[in-house]
Amino acid sequence: MARTDNDSWEITESVGATALGVAASRAAETESDNPLIRDPFARVFLDAVGDGVWNWFSAPQLPAELLESEPDLALQMRSMVGYMASRTAFFDSFFLDATNAGIRQVVILAAGLDARSWRLPWPDGTTVYELDQPRVLDFKASTLNEHGAQAACNRIAVPVDLRHDWPAALRQAGFDPAVPSVWSAEGLMPYLPAVAQELLFERVQGLTAIGSRVAVEALGPKFLDPDTRAKRRARMDRVRTFLAEKDPQREIPSTDELWYFEEREDVGEWFGRHGWDVTVTLSLELMAGYGRRVPEQVEDQVPGNLFVAAQRARI
């Protein structure tokens, strides 16, 4: 589905469905033999919507014939589950370190079906502001309410479009820019045009006191590489053609149709220039650190994203 400047979505469509895709990965990891993270709510969301294209991201069993003709496919899909688990673990630790160091205002940009408000051991007095599109946040709250889940913090939903003027809504919800805060932007960047990404960081800058922290899953240099993109497309087209005959029920996502392939400023450099102390970890290093080393033959099929962690040191 092509993107437009003011598009919006249900949880099962367009960019909304990508939040279900991430939930499918987290459910697969949670239910695996040796999980790196445990997110019991991921399965609750998936059960609420039934089967769909999002289940591709849980690395489902595929026909043997397909795996013979695409020998790296199963490994690639398992590595993607490992990628999502490592990413989840990274942001979990980032938030817990910040709140254990005394920060009590948390902002999750593009929260999607991230269930951290329910599953992390937040210190008393922590408020978590979750920003995402209204129908995504409604689905999440109503599904977890029906499940009887209780948030483990003071959780405040802030329904907004992150391309629009969301700081007013965040302040109105009770956020205090004069007090340090901790922020995440996980699984968001490719869905924002480059101009909106720049504006997002400027707005974060305007809302953060010294001592605040920000973590971003930033796009790496290979994101724009035409070869990588063409190879990914060709591989998925082959899989799509094969499954159209053998397993027509199985839907294959075209996530990159939802992405903005545009030049962007390096996120670590942006924060460095604006008075933040920055550390950057490459995705493959992050995964190796969590015991999810990626086999060489599928290294280029795992997102080459950069995990940026920053702390505001100066005005």
| Residues near ligand SAM, by CB under 6 A | 15-16, 18-19, 22, 110-114, 132-133, 136, 161-163, 186-188, 191
Minimum gap (Å) between residue 298 Cβ and ligand SAM = 21
Q: Which CB, 1 or 210, lies closer to ligand SAM? A: 1
Minimum gap (Å) between residue 178 Cβ and ligand SAM = 25
Minimum gap (Å) between residue 215 Cβ and ligand SAM = 11
Q: Which CB, 24 or 294, lies closer to ligand SAM? A: 24
- Strands 127-132 vs 306-312: parallel, antiparallel or unpaired: unpaired
Return d(Cα 43, Cα 23) in angstroms, integer. 7
Q: Which CB, 42 or 67, lies closer to ligand SAM? A: 42
Return d(Cα 228, Cα 224) in angstroms, integer. 8
Say which DSSP state 189 is in: G
- DSSP 3-state of 109: strand
Residue 285, C-beta contacts closer than 8 angstroms, at least 6 positions apart: none
Minimum gap (Å) between residue 132 Cβ and ligand SAM = 4
Q: Which CB, 169 or 243, lies closer to ligand SAM? A: 169
Give me the helices (H) in 40-112, please.
Answer: 40-49, 64-69, 73-100
Minimum gap (Å) between residue 195 Cβ and ligand SAM = 12
Q: Which CB, 103 or 186, lies closer to ligand SAM? A: 186
Minimum gap (Å) between residue 77 Cβ and ligand SAM = 17
Contact 94, 184 (CB under 8 A): yes
Minimum gap (Å) between residue 40 Cβ and ligand SAM = 15
Of the chain, the end-to-end C-alpha distance in Å amounts to 41
Q: Which CB, 26 or 312, lies closer to ligand SAM? A: 26
Comparing every residue's Cβ against ligand SAM, the nearest one is 112
CB pairs under 8 A, 24+ apart, for 162-171? 162/109, 162/110, 162/131, 162/188, 162/192, 162/196, 162/200, 163/5, 163/6, 163/192, 163/193, 163/196, 163/199, 166/131, 166/203, 167/203, 167/206, 167/207, 170/107, 170/129, 170/131, 170/207, 171/207
Q: Which CB, 14 or 209, lies closer to ligand SAM? A: 14
